[in-house]
A and B are shown apart, each in its own frame.
Chain A
């Protein structure tokens, strides 16, 4: 079975500092991996996805993530945090083929301090 583990339910960074949100996955077959963001009182929005092409994936709002098979990780980073980045971030995994639903991690709440 697939699963994702997000390390840290809450991360706090200063404005302008590096953002690093951790995600480790478990999958017996090549995975597709996703990061979604949820702003207060809104649904989830896709930030970026890995689908077996380039291992370094660039997404919206300056975020990027690197797929590391040896570490089974797909950490999300942004060089400089902005106040508007405060939100909840979800990592998700699915099989690379077929129509298997996404399995989400429990989420990491990012706070940005001025």
Chain B
């Protein structure tokens, strides 16, 4: 079974641009969560989708948005990029309806904002 796939692996953008990151969960997983990882703040929860509905949302500004498609693939979008958005963005999928049972993480997308 293929793991969680995130594309692209690396991304370089400039301030003010927007970016879209993609996540393909493990086959059969319907829950997809997104986390932002930075050296100073650690892992911070962005949002979680289950069956195309946003079920949970973290404390991030509206510039951060996401969606989930009918095949469970998910995208997150960051508009008007700021230097502080530079981070590793991790996607995780879960096989259970209960989010906290088990998370399978992708390798992440490393975003650098110049």
Contact B42 A94, beta carbon cutoff 8 Å? no
A90 to B48, CA, bound (A): 20
CB-based nearest B residue for A105:
B42
With a cutoff of 8 Å between Cβ atoms, the chain A residues found around residue B103 in the complex are 44, 46, 102
Question: With A44-B43, A99-B56, A104-B42 given, can you name 13 additional A-B contacts, CB distance below 8 Å?
Answer: A32-B100, A43-B4, A43-B105, A43-B106, A43-B108, A44-B103, A46-B104, A99-B98, A100-B100, A101-B33, A101-B99, A105-B42, A106-B41
Decide: A45 near B105, CB < 8 A? Known: A101-B33, A101-B56, A104-B42: yes
With a cutoff of 8 Å between Cβ atoms, the chain B residues found around residue A94 in the complex are 99-100
CB-based nearest A residue for B108:
A43
- Which B residues contact A (CB, under 8 angstroms)? 4, 33, 35, 41-45, 48, 50, 55-56, 58, 90, 92, 97-100, 102-108
CB-based nearest A residue for B98:
A99
Task: Write the nearest CB–CB distance from B56 to chain A, whole angstroms.
Answer: 5
Query: A27-64 toward B: CB 8 Å interface, digit per residue (1/0)?
Result: 00000100010000111111001000000000000000
With a cutoff of 8 Å between Cβ atoms, the chain B residues found around residue A42 in the complex are 107
- Which A residues contact B (CB, under 8 angstroms)? 32, 36, 41-46, 49, 90, 94-95, 98-107
The count of A-to-B residue pairs whose CB atoms sit within 8 angstroms is 58
Most buried by A among B4, B50, B98, B103: B103
With a cutoff of 8 Å between Cβ atoms, the chain A residues found around residue B50 in the complex are 99
A63 to B107, CA, bound (A): 22
With a cutoff of 8 Å between Cβ atoms, the chain B residues found around residue A43 in the complex are 4, 90, 92, 105-108
Contact B42 A107, beta carbon cutoff 8 Å? yes
With a cutoff of 8 Å between Cβ atoms, the chain A residues found around residue B99 in the complex are 94, 99-101
7 smallest CB-CB distances across A and B, nearest first, come from A43-B105, A106-B42, A104-B43, A99-B99, A94-B100, A44-B105, A101-B45
With a cutoff of 8 Å between Cβ atoms, the chain B residues found around residue A44 in the complex are 43, 90, 92, 103, 105
With a cutoff of 8 Å between Cβ atoms, the chain B residues found around residue A99 in the complex are 48, 50, 55-56, 97-100
With a cutoff of 8 Å between Cβ atoms, the chain A residues found around residue B45 in the complex are 101-103
Task: Write the nearest CB–CB distance from A111 to chain B, whole angstroms.
Answer: 16
